[in-house]
Amino acid sequence: MKHGIGAVLLALLAAAGAADPLPARAPEIASYDIEVRLTPGTQRLSGRQRVTWRNTTPEAVGELWFHLYLNAFRNSQSTFVRESGGQLRGDRMPDDGWGWTEVTSIRTAEGVDLAQGATFEHPDDDNAEDRTVWRVPLPEPVPPGGTIELEMTFEAQLPRVFARTGYFRDYFLVGQWFPKLGVYEPAGTRGRASGGWNCHQFHANSEFYADFGRYRVAITLPQRFVVGATGKRVDKRDNPDGTAVHVFEQADVHDFAWTASPRFVEVKARFSGATDVTAAEYAEAAALLGRSLEEVRLSDVDVTILMQPEHMRQAERHVAAAKAGIKWFGLWYGRYPYETLTVVDPAYGARGSGGMEYPTFITAGTTVLFNRWPLDRLRLPEEVTVHEFGHQYWQGMVASNEFEESWLDEGFNSYATGKAMRQAFGPWTLEVLGLRVSSAELPRLGNSVERMFDRVRTPAWRYSSSNNYGFNSYARTDLTLRTLEGLLGERTMARVMRTYHERFRFRHPSSEDFYAVVDEVAGRDMRGFFAQAVERPGVLDDEIAAITSARVEPPRGVFGEGPARRTISAREAREQAREKDAAGGRLWRSTVLVRRRGEVVLPATLRLEFEGGDAQVMALSEAEPPAGSVDVERAGLMPGGAGGEPWQGRFKRVEVVTPRRLLAARVDPEGRHELDVNRLNDARRVEPDPRAATTWSARLVFWMQQLLALAGL
């Protein structure tokens, strides 16, 4: 594909990265004023809520759809339990730990009873026993721009802690606990032919999707409990009956969660935009993103860590991780706009509530094993905290539909978490007794041909297995975005992510929105990449299948025509070869066979390494590879770029004639193809290198020594 002057100008303008101003506020569509009482002995919630819903669509809406998430734990016939088999993320549902929710009344602000016509729906399957979606017809439609207010009361039984919510002894993590509106999508949204409520059932692998609004929640429970929640505590008062009321408020969010335990130890900290970020870091971020210093300036945040007493030795680690998240996500994607962040350290026996995100409120995950050497060098507590904080961006503010496009949240956040962890804590996630595992390599551990039967862009409950949901939504998306960064370059990719977050903060973007931002910022059509890497299953695996390098033999045989015809004998050819060898002028003919074992076709380069340290890098394109080396950064090795079209066949043979012998060849020498399922076949030597075996033998001996030392032998 040829590029004209206009395309070049487009690319130059895109590289500048025009800024979208960060919106100051979210649209208030679904707002909640809730009063809830917790009775610890029965683990019951009694609630009253006023719900205000504003119709921001051009369509009249004649019904409301609610999520009743706690009914996922109602019995063994719910869709969640059927799909999960009572297990999630390695945690097993307690045998008798059932939970449920029941709306006891629902009326309009004018007093009209809406309960009579309400029905349970199951839009995703044929499970009539599932009660996680509730449809409420209205006496008259809410017109475009109109508002409806509802008065509701509800009772809820919290389950034993499992799948992000519930209780364990006197520890409570209360998530997805109140009747919560779905999202009304008008015709044209996500390809809809007609408007309707996007309100999926609670599936084993799905998470959540809701509209932004304002929350005010008053929580009543015994005074001995320490309480943390979404938002800022605006009031706390003790009652004569021994209870206390904790009132929290937060605008510009789409959910609310809270926790309570008498064992929590509060650790207070403050992130300062003035002192926790250096002038050099601000300048570096501004230059990388093409933004002004003012645009990358960060706000102060009050941080509360609710620690378990036995984990207090790790308190500063949690604080450092929370600050790292606020800092690096803020510098790269836009300042954290809320005044508070609460980090919850789950109680022992309640690990099912760990590693979860809610607006301004996240749950971490650790163990006493990480208190002491040698496991204190494992960065897993930091990674969980940074990852869950990252969801404030790729779920909390850029609120994509996690039911239908989980990769836009989990995968984007995994990619961003890895970058933040490496920036804040160095390359190693794990350092134990000399063993080091890079955070960049962890996502590759599950990358194999066996995981490539699902599209990345698949509704969360429709993956072929829970393992494939996890791999594609998290690790494979991370690898996909890192591959995209390898093709675009670090600066362009940074500007892609910044622009995407700026443009869709407090909105509900889709995959097509992200694709459009990539095309715009990169200044080139990248749909072919996403078609292969996201929209259909496929394997990326280019390999060096064969490599040879031999002396170029002088010609022998009959040459010329008529009187000019002459015969060069084998003896003459050998003599000519000896003369060239003596003069050092005999050439080497080297052949490399590059083979494509998978279906994904990406631009690639080939590095040839010769005796004497010489190397040559060439583009593996449909056109013949250039004779000389190529500056990969400047060549633009994308479809239609200076590197030519990527080769489309299943194999490509490259032959070069050089003064020096070829030693080795490597495909993708820059490591841009993070999606490659097998990097062990990326390189091959003409002759084996015995140093590799020596290295692995030394490692094996080292680990045997360490194991014997630990065993006291």
* pLDDT score at 13: 37
* pLDDT score at 692: 53
243, 273: one domain = no
DSSP string computed for 474-520? IIIHHHHHHHHHHHH-HHHHHHHHHHHHHHHTTB---HHHHHHHHHH
For residue 333, what are its two tokens? 């994607």
CB 307 within 8 Å of CB 267 = yes
Query: Is 710 inside any structural domain?
Result: no
Q: 449-495, pLDDT tens digit by residue?
A: 888 899 999 999 999 999 999 999 999 999 999 999 999 999 999 99
- What are the strands, taking DSSP E only, across 254-355? 258-261, 265-271, 301-307, 340-344
Q: 312-347, pLDDT tens digit by residue?
A: 999 999 999 999 999 999 999 999 999 999 999 999
Query: Is 425 inside any structural domain?
Result: yes
667, 518: one domain = no
Query: Is 381 inside any structural domain?
Result: yes
Which of 510, 538, 566 lies at the terminal end of a domain, its last residue? 538
525, 556: one domain = no
CB 327 within 8 Å of CB 299 = no
* pLDDT score at 623: 63
For residue 439, what are its two tokens? 């955070």
Query: Is 592 inside any structural domain?
Result: yes
598, 613: one domain = yes
234, 272: one domain = no
Q: CB-based burial of residue 28 (10 Å sphere; 0-12 exposed, 13-18 middle, 19+ buried)?
A: middle
**Domain of 245, in residue numbers:** 18-256
CATH number of the domain at 381, please.
1.10.390.10
DSSP at 165 = B
For residue 260, what are its two tokens? 């309570």
Q: β-strand 119-121 against 133-142: which pairing, if any? A: antiparallel
pTM over 0.85: yes
* pLDDT score at 624: 56
CB 50 within 8 Å of CB 215 = no
520, 591: one domain = no
Which of 231, 256, 281 lies at the terminal end of a domain, its last residue? 256
Query: Is 694 inside any structural domain?
Result: no
* pLDDT score at 710: 43
CA pair distance 227, 159, nearest whole angstrom: 19
CA 441 to chain centre: 15
249, 305: one domain = no
Neighbours of 294 (CB within 10 A): 8
* pLDDT score at 163: 82
3-state helix/strand/coil string of 9-35: HHHHHHHHCCCCCCCCCCCCCEEEEEE
520, 564: one domain = no
534, 550: one domain = no
546, 530: one domain = no
* pLDDT score at 618: 94
DSSP at 113 = B
Query: Is 701 inside any structural domain?
Result: no
| DSSP β-bridge partners for residue 196 | 185
φ, ψ of residue 102 in degrees (nearest 5) = -140, 125
What is the layout of strands, in order, in the sheet containing 232-238?
A: 100-108, 147-157, 44-54, 30-39, 213-222, 243-253, 232-238
CATH number of the domain at 172, please.
2.60.40.1730
CA pair distance 331, 452, nearest whole angstrom: 34
Query: Is 467 inside any structural domain?
Result: yes
CA pair distance 199, 123, nearest whole angstrom: 8
Name the amino acid, one letter, at 207. E
Q: Please state the domain count of the chain.
A: 3
Cα–Cα separations (whole angstroms), residue 564 to 36, 473, 554, 559, 570: 105, 71, 19, 8, 19
Query: Is 697 inside any structural domain?
Result: no
532, 402: one domain = yes
CA pair distance 371, 363, nearest whole angstrom: 19
286, 333: one domain = yes
For the chain, list residues with pLDDT below 50.
1-17, 626-643, 701-713
CA pair distance 345, 370, nearest whole angstrom: 13
Which of 482, 507, 538 lies at the terminal end of a domain, its last residue? 538
